[in-house]
Structure 1
Amino acid sequence: MINLALRFSYLGDHFSGSQMQPGLRTVEGEFIEACRRIQVFDDWREARFATAGRTDRGVHARRQVCSFLTDLPERAIRVLNRVLPGDIWCTGWAEPPEGFHPRYSARSRTYRYYFFPAPEKIAAMNDAAQVFIGRHDFSSFARSSDRDPERRILAARVFLDGRFAVFEVTAESFLWNMVRRMATVLEAVGNGESDAAEIERLLAEPTEQRVATAPPWGLILWDIDYGMTFDPLQIGGKSERYLASRLRYHAVMACAADRLAPDDRGGV
């Protein structure tokens, strides 16, 4: 029996978050059911199934990671993408070192938050994002919790990607809702409603008044660094078709938004 690590992606639109919840469609629930169907394990507890972390309802992942014990790793690698639903797909696999755990073995995590439409002051947003770098008390940027509110940010930047502004941030770990609250203050900077000094104040003088949480749709778990290589996997046809349909949908919606935008005469 080996501990198999799988890297996978998902679109979060139709999930009630990633973590298993009775009676709700979740990423973990669908993944575990697929593993049961192809009999790579029977009981997820005995298989020690675990993921790198949780994401909320509507949040997406480019590189999430899970691991589990199995006697049939080749079957999981070969068949899982055929039985997973279209909005989840595996992109890589690895046989990790002894003692590996997808959550506790991670060196760092990177998230991206996509803003649409892009705020005007991208340079100001990027300058403000640098304030987050280093170790700070993020109490103002997280849900009330008994956990240690201090986190160390390794890198942060804001840049344009086509019609989107993107906030990319890397840290050893994050608090619940932390990135979405960081995104809220950066968007305010981009709209000229705040500045880097306000972020400095929130980090230096945390208050019980938490920053508002940005919508989940713009957040993507972008990458997790374990210092190991994953062998690539080809995604299944179901996922390819699903992704193509979502791309067409968003292209239509973007076109509609352009047509509904006010013209130079102040009309619609």
Structure 2
Amino acid sequence: MNLAFRFSYFGDRFFGSQMQPLLRTVEGEFIEACRRLQVFDDWREANFVTAGRTDRGVHARGQVCSFSTDRPERAVRALNQVLPADIWCTAWAGVPDGFHPRYSTASRTYRYYFFSPGNAAAMHEAAQEFLGRHDFSAFARVGDRSPERRILAARVFKDGPFTVFEVTGESFLWNMVRCMATALERVGRGEAGAGEIARLLTAPVEQRIPAAPPEGLILWDIDCGVSFAPLPIDEKSRRYLADRYRYHALMAEVSACLAPDDRWPDTSRI
């Protein structure tokens, strides 16, 4: 049977999501949990694949993976009990042959949480410049890929101590959302306006916008056309989630009191 799982993770203690030898990664931990449960032996034969990659330090609320197994009931019942506390499945679904979480996805939504306060109204207005299809060479590491991407929705709003940038697109380039976040943060500090973002989307690229720190980025949702059935979160993950939320809320309050150059503490060892 082919299964798809929607799952979440905190990226603080992972070397990114993609499996790498001798390093702790999200895919590596997920595959190891499936092996321990004997859901599958070889991830290649099981066609284990995720909807996309996230960099070191980036979090996910709605990542999706799929694989085939002869023991679907065991996977659905026990995966959350075996996964480490900083990864937890939130829903599952049976999917047809040929389903691929990356290529079956119509859109992806990311949120970037700013620790520092900013003018959310001005940032929201500037974020509308991203809508539509544009050349994002100034806002991403393009490499040998096409720099054009289509943005379907963008907004900036307040959420407790955070200012949040939410963006939905058909697909994204490497570091694209984090570079967009840097540009919007400059707007929020009064250092640039919406016109500067419009210029960067149309003018020849002189220098790429630097990427904002990864700790603020969350892969929020993936629209892959699947109706998922919810799963209960394991208690160890529930405690871990509450602890990390308190920590990041505290960092937002602390960073608001710091000088601009000191806003982003190093969380890699926490």
Give the TM-score normalised by the residue count of structure 1. Answer: 0.92
Tell me the equivalent position of 1:185.
183
For 1:136 and 1:24, locate their aligned partners in 2 and report how far apart those are by CA, in whole Å.
36
Go from structure 1 to structure 2 and tell me whether the alpha carbon gap of 1:251 and 1:37 turns closer, same or farther (over 3 Å shift): same
1:168 is paired with a residue whose SS is strand
1:12 is paired with a residue whose SS is coil
For 1:208 and 1:257, locate their aligned partners in 2 and report how far apart those are by CA, in whole Å.
31
Cα shift at 1:249? 3.5
Cα shift at 1:144? 3.8
Larger radius of gyration between Structure 1 and Structure 2 = 1
Go from structure 1 to structure 2 and tell me whether the alpha carbon gap of 1:125 and 1:249 turns closer, same or farther (over 3 Å shift): closer
Moved more, 107-116 or 244-253: 244-253
Listed one character per residue, the Cα deviations across residues 197-224 of structure 1 (whole Å, up to 9, x for unaligned) are 1111111014151100000000000000
Instruction: Give yes or no for contact 1:6–1:92 (8 Å, CA) kept in 2.
Output: yes
Instruction: Give yes or no for contact 1:137–1:206 (8 Å, CA) kept in 2.
Output: no
1:82 is paired with a residue whose SS is helix
Tell me the equivalent position of 2:55.
56
1:32 is paired with a residue whose SS is helix
Tell me the equivalent position of 1:174.
172
1:101 is paired with a residue whose SS is coil
Go from structure 1 to structure 2 and tell me whether the alpha carbon gap of 1:124 and 1:247 turns closer, same or farther (over 3 Å shift): closer
Instruction: Give yes or no for contact 1:114–1:166 (8 Å, CA) kept in 2.
Output: yes
Tell me the equivalent position of 1:98.
97
Instruction: Give yes or no for contact 2:161–2:253 (8 Å, CA) kept in 1.
Output: no
Tell me the equivalent position of 1:217.
215
Tell me the equivalent position of 2:19.
20
Percentage of pairs with the same residue = 72
Paired residue for 1:146, among 139, 144, 147?
A: 144
Tell me the equivalent position of 2:157.
159
1:129 is paired with a residue whose SS is helix
For 2:243 and 2:132, locate their aligned partners in 1 and report how far apart those are by CA, in whole Å.
41
Tell me the equivalent position of 1:47.
46
For 2:243 and 2:24, locate their aligned partners in 1 and report how far apart those are by CA, in whole Å.
21
Tell me the equivalent position of 2:126.
128
Q: How many residues align?
A: 259
Cα shift at 1:238? 1.3
Letter in structure 2 aligned against 1:66: C
Instruction: Give yes or no for contact 2:142–2:173 (8 Å, CA) kept in 1.
Output: no
Cα shift at 1:98? 3.0
Cα shift at 1:63? 0.4
Go from structure 1 to structure 2 and tell me whether the alpha carbon gap of 1:206 and 1:98 turns closer, same or farther (over 3 Å shift): farther
Output the aligned Cα RMSD: 1.6
Tell me the equivalent position of 2:237.
239
Moved more, 212-221 or 198-207: 198-207
